[in-house]
Structure 1
Amino acid sequence: MHPNHRPPRTGRKRRTRLRQWIARRRRIALDHMLRGACYGIGTGAIGLAFIWLERLM
Structure 2
Amino acid sequence: MHPNHHPPREGRKQRTTARRWAARHRRTARAHILRGACYGLGTGATGLAFMWLERLM
State whether TM-score is above 0.5. Answer: yes
Of 15, 23, 28, the match for 2:27: 15
TM superposition score normalised by structure 1:
0.67
Unaligned residue ranges in structure 2 (runs of 5+): 1-8
Aligned to 2:10: 2
Moved over 3 A (4+): none
Tell whether 2:55 aligns with 1:40: no
| Counterpart-to-counterpart distance in 2, 1:22 and 1:28 | 10
RMSD: 1.8
**Partner AA of 1:2 in structure 2:** E
Q: Give me the whole-angstrom Cα distance separating, in 2, the residues matched to 1:12 and 1:41.
A: 45
Offset, 1:3 = 5.8
Where does structure 1 lack aligned partners over 5 or more consecutive residues?
Answer: 46-57
